[in-house]
A and B are shown apart, each in its own frame.
Chain A
Amino acid sequence: MIRIDRVSRPRILHEVSFEARPGRVTGFLGPNGAGKTSTVRILLGLDRASTGTATINSQPYAALPRPLTVVGALLDGSGAHRARTARAHLRWLAASNALPRARVGEVLETVGLTEAAGRRAGRFSLGMSRRLGLAAALLGDPPVLVLDEPFNGLDPAGILWMREFLSRCAAEGRTVLLSSHLLDFPVDDVVVINRGRVAAHGTLAEVQGDHGSLEDAFLALTGAASW
Chain B
Amino acid sequence: MVRAELSKLLGLPTAWIGLALGLIAAPALVLVNTPGMRQAIESGEVTDLGYENLGIGLLGALILGVVAVSSEYTSTGDDAPGAHQMTTTLLAMPRRSHLLLAKGAALSFVVAVQGALTASATVLLTQVMLPDHAPPFEPARVAAAVLYWTLLGLLAFAITLIFRNGIITLTVFIVNSSVVSVSYLLTKLTPWAAYLPDIVGAHMFLRTMPGETHIAPLTAGLVMTAWVAALLAAASYLFTRRPA
Residues of A whose CB lies within 8 Å of any CB of B are 41, 44-48, 61-62, 64, 67-68, 71, 73, 75-85, 88-89, 91-93, 95-97, 121-122, 124, 126, 129, 136, 153
A-B pairs with the 9 shortest C-beta distances? A77-B83, A77-B80, A96-B4, A79-B88, A95-B4, A77-B76, A62-B94, A76-B83, A96-B92
Q: How far is the CA of A47 from the CA of B94 in the complex (A)?
A: 11
**Residue pair B83, A97 in contact (C-beta under 8 Å):** no
**Residue pair A79, B93 in contact (C-beta under 8 Å):** no
Which residues in B have their C-beta under 8 angstroms from that of A96?
1, 4-5, 89, 92-93
Which residues in A have their C-beta under 8 angstroms from that of B20?
none
Closest beta carbon of chain B to A165's beta carbon, Å: 20
A68 and B91 contact, Cβ closer than 8 Å, known pairs A46-B243, A92-B11: yes
Q: How far is the CA of A191 from the CA of B196 in the complex (A)?
A: 56
Q: How far is the CA of A45 from the CA of B84 in the complex (A)?
A: 16
Which residues in A have their C-beta under 8 angstroms from that of B207?
none
B140 within 8 A of A: no
**Residue pair A67, B7 in contact (C-beta under 8 Å):** no
Which residues in A have their C-beta under 8 angstroms from that of B79?
77, 126, 129, 153
A46 and B74 contact, Cβ closer than 8 Å, known pairs A68-B92, A88-B7, A153-B79: no
Enumerate 21 A-B pairs (CB-CB under 8 Å) in ascending A order.
Answer: A46-B244, A47-B243, A61-B94, A64-B94, A68-B92, A73-B91, A76-B83, A77-B83, A78-B83, A79-B87, A79-B88, A81-B71, A82-B76, A83-B14, A88-B11, A89-B11, A92-B7, A93-B92, A95-B3, A96-B1, A126-B77
Which residues in A have their C-beta under 8 angstroms from that of B1?
96
Which residues in A have their C-beta under 8 angstroms from that of B76?
77-82, 121-122, 129
Q: How far is the CA of A79 from the CA of B80 in the complex (A)?
A: 10
Q: How far is the CA of A216 from the CA of B32 in the complex (A)?
A: 77
**Residue pair A136, B94 in contact (C-beta under 8 Å):** no
Interface size class of B (residues with CB under 8 A): 20 to 34
Q: How far is the CA of A93 from the CA of B83 in the complex (A)?
A: 17
Which residues in B have their C-beta under 8 angstroms from that of A44?
91
Q: How far is the CA of A127 from the CA of B88 in the complex (A)?
A: 18
A46 and B3 contact, Cβ closer than 8 Å, known pairs A76-B83, A121-B76: no
B47 within 8 A of A: no
**Residue pair A77, B91 in contact (C-beta under 8 Å):** no
Which residues in B have their C-beta under 8 angstroms from that of A136?
88
Which residues in B have their C-beta under 8 angstroms from that of A89?
11, 88
Smallest Cβ-Cβ distance to A45: which chain B residue: B94
Taking CB atoms and an 8 Å cut-off, the chain B residues in 197-229 that contact chain A are: none
Q: How far is the CA of A153 from the CA of B12 in the complex (A)?
A: 27
Q: How far is the CA of A46 from the CA of B76 in the complex (A)?
A: 17
Closest beta carbon of chain B to A26's beta carbon, Å: 19
B82 within 8 A of A: yes
Smallest Cβ-Cβ distance to B12: which chain A residue: A83
Which residues in A have their C-beta under 8 angstroms from that of B85?
79-81
B133 within 8 A of A: no
Q: How far is the CA of A71 from the CA of B92 in the complex (A)?
A: 10
Which residues in A have their C-beta under 8 angstroms from that of B3?
95
Q: How far is the CA of A84 from the CA of B9 in the complex (A)?
A: 10
Q: How far is the CA of A95 from the CA of B1 in the complex (A)?
A: 7
Given contacts A77-B79, A93-B92, 14 further A-B pairs with CB under 8 A are A61-B94, A68-B91, A75-B87, A77-B75, A77-B77, A79-B91, A80-B88, A91-B7, A92-B5, A92-B7, A93-B88, A95-B4, A96-B4, A126-B77
**Residue pair A92, B8 in contact (C-beta under 8 Å):** yes
Which residues in B have their C-beta under 8 angstroms from that of A85?
11
**Residue pair A92, B4 in contact (C-beta under 8 Å):** yes
Which residues in B have their C-beta under 8 angstroms from that of A46?
87, 90-91, 243-244
Q: Fill in one digit per residue for B73-114: 1 if any A CB lies within 8 Å of its CB, else 0.
A: 011110110111101111111110000000000000000000
